[in-house]
Amino acid sequence: MRLTTRLLAGLVLGVAVLIAAVVFILDRRLYVRVSDEQVAALQREAGLVAVQWTADALADSLADAAGRVTGHRVTLIAPDGRVIGDSHFDGAALARLENHAARPEVRAALGDSVGRARRVSASAGDEELYVAVRTARGVSRVSVKTALVEDIFERSRREIVLTGLGAITAVMIFGWFFARSVSRPIVALRDVAQSLAAGDLSRRPVLSAPGEVGDLARAVHRLAEQLGARLATLEAEESLLTELFDSLNEGAIAVDATRQVVRINDIGRQLAGVDGEVPFPIDRLPQAPELREALDAALAGRVAEPREFVLLGRTVLLTARPLTDGGAVLALYDLTPIRRMEQVRRDFVANVSHELRTPLTIVGGYAETMVGDDDLGAANRRRFADTILANTRRMQRIVDDLLDLSRIESGGWRPNPTWCTVADLAADVMANVRDAAQAREVAVRADIAPDAMTVWADPTGLRQVVGNLVENAVRHTRGGSVTIVARREGEELVLAVTDTGEGIPPEHLPRIFERFYRVDAARSREQGGTGLGLAIVRHLVEAHGGRVTAESVAGRGTTIATHWPVPATP
């Protein structure tokens, strides 16, 4: 039921109860009071008649005269109960009236001077109220029909009811406006409160309502302001926590007491191999025994010791801790890059050792022979010395390349770029490899596009990049050609070295930029390569913000392309 209806119904009900109370009082207390006053009036009238009753012969005339004056029935009764005068009966009718000695009001009047009774009159046939007083000559009695009194009260009831209906109508009209004035701001407050509960914090109540409703509106307004501020703070904190949670280098998985995953960051999804919105059951997590044991222990309230295992092909370090609400949080740290670096480090040490062992063995062997054999001829000594010198230079190149690579990777070398002329660079590189190219019958040339005449790079680093690529191409080409190509591709300048040499099989192509990686290790060592040139090229180009790509077809040649960013303004 609406508030307006309830208020209006309450007002009408109150008025109706008030009218009913008035009618009840009228029927009870007022009726008794009026009856008492009626008895007193009849007693006075009977007393006046008694004073005037002086002779029995005049009793009937006196009763008739008194009845006409008072409008009531007047009866004069002798002490023995005979009716000797009555305003309603004369002559023979008077004589036929029965003896009234047994009437209760007459007995009471003869005994206590005043008597009264209410009954149906045996002679008149109507209910009457009788009041009798004792006189010197008998009993003077005055009666009135009770129907007259009832008629008065009936008219009073009708008037009260009509007045009450008018009052109810007025109350309904006034109450409707009053209820509307009270309910309208309350309904508005209800709508605002419902909107706030639904999350719409932009709603505000009208502050002009009067009285307590206005106070409530102002309180709701302050509540909305505070709720909005607190919600904004909570949202900011939640956003910050979410950002922190998602930015962790570890995979984080939160599980509640019902064994549902309620939060998981991107790294956790990658390591666990799951997707989809949270929450979802833990059955979707990998079934690795180590993961399940740690999760069960944490959900049981125990801290699981960190353990390292392989999860979906990656090496992870798992830590599980219980939460205060009965849940658990799992932390997965991806150790794969670390283990890969350790393996790379071990391979690097092994490769360096292997690369240096052969020339050291040769140098040591030839040196021992030269020291221990005095009968060596001059030709042999010359040949041994040339071999020792060649292997020493080879070790020197390895050490130099290692130092360059270490300096670049550690950040000890930073490029100092400037605009370099590609044609001058190509001419310098081709001059340095001319002898080696002629020996292998390789034609070295340059193909420079008009829009690629200059490149933004460190001159020393650029010279080392192109030089390594050209030397490497000449080393792996016989009877063919090597071309230095420069062209513009969008926001990049591409410097590529293309050869028609032996090419690289597809399975080796992704690894050619690794340190000491060789497609044919024995042949590369015979040709004097260190296995570090392409690794140095990749690091130098990436230090400029560029990248390196490789394309090759076995038996048909190889293209190594370096992509250099072009600044907005030259």
Tokens of 475: 């080393």
Q: Are residues 373 and 343 in the same domain?
A: yes
Residue 174 is assigned to a structural domain of this protein: no
How far is Cα 436 from Cα 444, in angstroms, rounded to an integer? 11
Is the pLDDT at 8 greater than 80, yes or no?
no
Order of strands across the sheet that contains 83-86? 83-86, 73-77, 138-145, 127-135, 114-120
The rounded distance, in Å, linking the Cα atoms of 508 and 387 is 31
Question: So what's the pLDDT on residue 562?
Answer: 92
Domain limit, last residue, from 305, 331, 357: 331
The answer to whether residue 459 sits within a structural domain is yes
In the block, residue with structure tokens 């050291």? 360
In this predicted model, which residue has the larger pLDDT, 351 or 261? 261
What digits encode the pLDDT tens for the residues 153-200?
677 777 777 877 777 787 777 767 766 666 677 777 777 777 777 777
Tokens linked to 323: 């939460």
Domain boundary among 301, 331, 361: 331
What's the average model confidence in pLDDT over 211-222?
A: 73
| 489 lies in the same domain as 545 | yes
The domain that contains 508 carries what CATH number? Answer: 3.30.565.10
Domain count, the chain: 4
Say whether both 362 and 432 belong to one domain: no
> Do 347 and 474 share a structural domain?
no
Percentage, residues of the chain above pLDDT 90: 10
Question: Which tops the pLDDT comparison, 397 or 455?
Answer: 455
Work out the pLDDT band at 3, boundaries 50, 70, 90. low
Look at residue 423 and tell me if it is in a domain. Answer: yes
Helix (H, G, I), strand (E, B) or coil at 26: helix
Instruction: Report pLDDT for 526.
Output: 47
So what's the pLDDT on residue 87?
A: 87
Would residue 307 count as lying in a domain?
yes
Same domain, 349 and 285: no
Which pLDDT does position 188 carry in this prediction? 72
- Higher-confidence position of 320 and 198: 320
Share of the chain above pLDDT 70, in %: 83
Which range of 38-47, 103-112, 433-442, 525-534 scores highest in mean pLDDT? It is: 433-442
Mean pLDDT of 316-320: 87
Question: Which residue intervals of 53-145 are DSSP H helices?
Answer: 59-70, 91-96, 104-112
Residue owning tokens 């032996």: 502
Task: Return the pLDDT at 348.
Answer: 66
Given this model, what pLDDT does residue 561 score?
Answer: 92
Give yes or no: residues 404 and 437 share one domain. no
Asked, as a colleague might, if the bond just before 279 is cis with ω within 30 of 0, I would say yes
Cα-Cα-Cα-Cα torsion 154, 159, 164, 169, nearest 10 degrees, comes to 130
DSSP for 29-62? IIHHHHHHHHHHHHHHHHHHHHHH---GGGHHHH
| 459 shares its domain with 401 | no
Task: Report pLDDT digits (tens) over 515-559.
Answer: 666 665 444 444 445 567 788 788 888 888 899 998 988 888 899
Kindly report the number of other CB atoms within 10 A of residue 186's CB atom.
15
Q: Indicate whether 66 and 44 sit together in one domain.
A: yes
Q: Spell out the long-range contacts of 435-442 with Cβ–Cβ below 8 A and sequence spacing 24 or more.
A: 436/471, 436/474, 436/475, 437/474, 437/482, 440/474, 440/477, 440/478, 440/479, 441/478, 441/479, 442/474, 442/477, 442/478, 442/479, 442/480, 442/481, 442/482, 442/499
Residue 433 lies in a domain: yes
Boundary-marking domain end, from 144, 169, 198: 144
Are residues 457 and 527 both part of a single domain?
yes
Q: Is the pLDDT of residue 403 over 80?
A: no
Query: Which is it for strands 251-255 and 280-281: parallel, antiparallel or unpaired?
Result: unpaired
Instruction: Identify which has the larger pLDDT, 25 or 311.
Output: 311
Specify the pLDDT at position 245.
65
Q: Considering the domain boundaries, does residue 201 fall inside one?
A: no
Whether residues 557 and 421 fall in one domain: yes
- Minimum mean pLDDT range among 20-29, 94-103, 352-361: 20-29
Q: What pLDDT, on a 0 to 100 scale, did the predictor assign at position 523? A: 45
CATH code: domain of residue 103: 3.30.450.20
CATH value at residue 394: 1.10.287.130
Residue 114 pLDDT > 50:
yes
Cα separation, 357 vs 396, whole angstroms: 13
**Same structural domain for residues 102 and 123?**
yes
Is residue 175 assigned to a domain? no
Q: What is the mean pLDDT of the chain?
A: 80
Length of the chain: 570
- Which residues neighbour 338 within 8 Å (Cβ) at sequence distance 6 or greater? none
Asked whether the predicted pLDDT for residue 310 surpasses 70, the reply is yes
* Residue 551 placed within a domain: yes
Residues 419 and 548 in one domain: yes
Domain that holds residue 450: 414-565
Top mean pLDDT of 299-313, 352-366, 476-490 is at 476-490
pLDDT band at 211 (very low <50, low <70, confident <90, very high): low
